[in-house]
Structure 1
């Protein structure tokens, strides 16, 4: 069942979204050569605790994971892209790090992800990260009343196709609000003009993620971390977006942008 949110409820989600944006901004600045992933995990824990927020990841045990998840952020390095379990790993020059976090404040959830390159960036990694960011912006622009869910998926897929990146549709965007995962599922590729008609009050997390040379995935023995099947590098970008009468409103934006 899809629950449309009132303007007042969207404002409450925006409170959470601003905090999520702050966490990702600070962790992005902190991610440097020589920093351990567990340092970033503990920094995120401290920020959540100090804000009086609640992690949506801690003790999360969905059917696709080897639950329960006992961390507050997903940290995925290089060929890992989704649900990365933080572990004792020290970041190296040129690593590609995807960070994904969802929290609730006063019962309202926001979810966002970003990918950063640690130290010296390789041109092909910069191109990959930018493709996910461009796909996210295209998806946001398509998230307008009267459009359909397929318009969002098609916008993401068009960016991937132009850049030459395969698309996996097993994991994608999703509704959210009082819980982290609600209907509808938002695939990262689809046909324009198809699917659910978008209405004001729908709140969705849009999250294009690409691997450089494959759309297939494999799981680590930890049961959570998802990697590209061929070991190619990956990137992931995500925002929580509310569809309003005036168009898309990004609730987790880290800096001003016209689409917000």
Structure 2
């Protein structure tokens, strides 16, 4: 069941989203060659709690950290640890926070120092595919209008869309109905109405779209070892157009 939010609930989500967006901006500043993924996680948790919020991911389904830190061929759900980031790596940071009982969820893929042109193109196309999807997140459209726009843009750039993991509704719970695929034919799924809030999150690979979960039970990697990028925001669908709740301008 899709849970429609009223204006007060969206305001709570706006506040949670602001914490997430500001956390990711802070992490973009500190991510440099030589830092460990555990240190990035520590900085994120400290910042989130200082804002009076709680990290959504810590303990979620048993996940041990406050952020997901996925490096290079890791797509999503990477566990922070003693891995040191090197010049030329890319890291996808997924972050969630809960405030006043409501969630915010967003992700960014960040270059570590100077990266290859191909890696930078992947990051930029993944980000832009999100915005192509958001253009379709308007009242009266169908859910897969978003999906189709994401897929069309990413594939036209020569990249592939991860199919095993999708976006989702969000509110009091991190994952609510509906699922939001990043691929598919337009004109399908529920009609978009004011008060829907969606986490739209393209996951895009340089190589094949196939992925597999590592033995840790969490970290998802590309089967062919190719680089992957992730870009996500929490988006409220409103009568006057979509509002991106986790993007700090």
TM-based fold match above 0.5: yes
Distance 1:50 1:23 in 2: 11
Map Cα deviations across residues 14-52 of structure 1 (whole Å, 9 max, x no partner).
011111000000001100011111111111111122122
* 1:172 Cα deviation after fit: 1.1
Alignment of 1:22 with 2:22, yes or no, is yes
Kindly indicate whether residue 231 of structure 2 is the aligned counterpart of residue 237 of structure 1: yes
Cα drift, residue 254 of structure 1: 2.4
Give the length in aligned residue pairs.
249
Q: Kindly state the Cα deviation for residue 216 of structure 1 after the two structures are TM-superposed.
A: 0.4
Partner in structure 1 of residue 183 of structure 2: 189
Contact 2:236 2:245 in 1 (8 A): yes
Q: Give CA deviations for 1:74-117 in whole Å, capped at 9, x if unaligned.
A: 00000001011001011100000000011100101010000011
8 Å Cα contact 2:164/2:211 also seen in 1: no
**d(CA) in 2 for partners of 1:69, 1:231:** 24
Corresponding residue of 1:65: none
Matched, 1:60 2:54: no
Q: Distance in 2 between matches of 1:6 and 1:150?
A: 23
- Unmatched 5+ stretches in structure 2: none
Who is 1:222 aligned against? 216
Which residue among 68, 72, 78 is the counterpart of 1:78? Answer: 72
Structure 2 CA distance, aligned partners of 1:241 and 1:111?
A: 10
Question: Is the Cα contact below 8 Å between 1:170 and 1:187 reproduced in 2?
Answer: no
State which of 108, 119, 126 in structure 2 corresponds to 1:125: 119
Instruction: Give 1:252's aligned residue.
Output: 246
The equivalent residue for 1:37 is 37
- Moved >2 Å (runs of 4+): none
The TM-score with structure 2 as length reference comes to 0.98
**Stretch deviating more after TM superposition (159-168 or 243-252):** 159-168
Residue-by-residue CA offset, 1:201-231 (whole Å, 9 max, x unaligned):
0000000011101110011121101011100
What TM-score do the two structures reach when normalised by structure 1? Answer: 0.94
Q: Are 1:153 and 2:147 matched, yes or no?
A: yes
Report what 2:102 is aligned to. Answer: 108
CA RMSD after TM alignment: 0.8
Q: Which runs of 5+ in 1 are unaligned?
A: 62-67, 256-260
